Amino acid sequence: MGWNAADYQRHAGFVPALGAAALDLLAPQPGERILDLGCGDGALTARIAEAGATVLGLDPDPSMLAAARDRGLEVVEGDGQALPFDHQFDAVFSNAALHWMPDQDAVARGVFRALRPGGRFVGECGGFLNIAAIRAAVRAVLIAHGFEAAALGAQVYQTAEALSARLAAAGFTAVEARLIPRPTPLPSGIRGWLTTFRAGFLAAAGVASDREAAVVAEIESILAPVLVDETGCWFADYVRLRWQAMKPGDA
């Protein structure tokens, strides 16, 4: 089961909105050729294009790619762990996507190869302890209902030190990475969040549609005392990992 672009825009529009700080760090320039790695529905890809850069979006999900094409963007289907590019981009950007790619070393090597000498890799994703409470509740409920919870380990929420070491091993220099705790309001509550990310959590564990409502209700009851504030607003316990790195000019 893949993503649903309409659900993503309805329940998780805050994700590209909060990626604006990473986009500012990228600072795209007119005439640059930029790859948006894990472009999703193209919300931030469009902003890179508006800055005057020539941007190519890459994502594995057909629904997301269709939404990006509806914005008039150039996008291709592909796996960030197997990038086919060779010295083609001045910068590679990624927001809220890297943690969905288990082979982080392959991503780092592929991005390094895709960049021209002097190019930069900038982005933000889920970092260490990201949605720790949510993941613990989801895992506990799935195990209690007899589902396969091992699939929840497919996301990679690493420390700044781990990412920095990976990027350095791939050849990057001037690596800067840091974790940013960011409790994030959920406009549709945890139910809306789980609807959006069911592909990575519920479907990955084998939860059929006729069991989903009961599973979600139980997860909600566990998390409400922890993630709902005094006004009744839901928050996700997000921790973001933001980075920038350079490919040496002689590489």
Which residues are CB-contacts of 182 (< 8 A; sequence separation ≥ 6)?
A: 18, 238, 239, 240
What's the chain's average pLDDT?
91
pLDDT at residue number 11? 39
Distance (Å, whole) CA 113 – CA 239: 29
pLDDT digits (tens, 9 = 90+) for 53-63: 999 999 999 98
What does residue 198 show for φ and ψ, rounded to 5 degrees?
Answer: -60, -30
Distance (Å, whole) CA 84 – CA 99: 20
pLDDT at residue number 5? 46
Q: Which domains does the chain have, with CATH numbers?
A: 5-246 (3.40.50.150)
Which residues are CB-contacts of 155 (< 8 A; sequence separation ≥ 6)?
A: 99, 100, 126, 200
| CA nearest to 123, candidates 102, 104, 98, 100 | 98
Distance (Å, whole) CA 138 – CA 64: 25
Judged on CB neighbours under 10 Å (0-12, 13-18, 19+), 225 is exposed
Distance (Å, whole) CA 155 – CA 250: 34
Between the ranges 13-22, 76-85, 201-210, where is the mean pLDDT highest?
76-85
pLDDT digits (tens, 9 = 90+) for 200-250: 788 878 888 888 899 999 999 999 999 999 999 999 999 999 999 999 998
- Whether the full predicted model's pTM is greater than 0.85, yes or no, is yes
Contact 241, 94 (CB under 8 A): no
Average pLDDT of the segment spanning 6-12? 47
Q: In what order do the strands lie in the sheet with 75-77?
A: 75-77, 54-59, 33-37, 89-95, 115-126, 235-246, 173-185
Element (H, E) at 91: strand 89-95
Q: How far is CA 21 from CA 24, 122, 138, 180, 215, in A?
A: 5, 11, 29, 11, 35
| CA nearest to 104, candidates 154, 55, 173 | 154
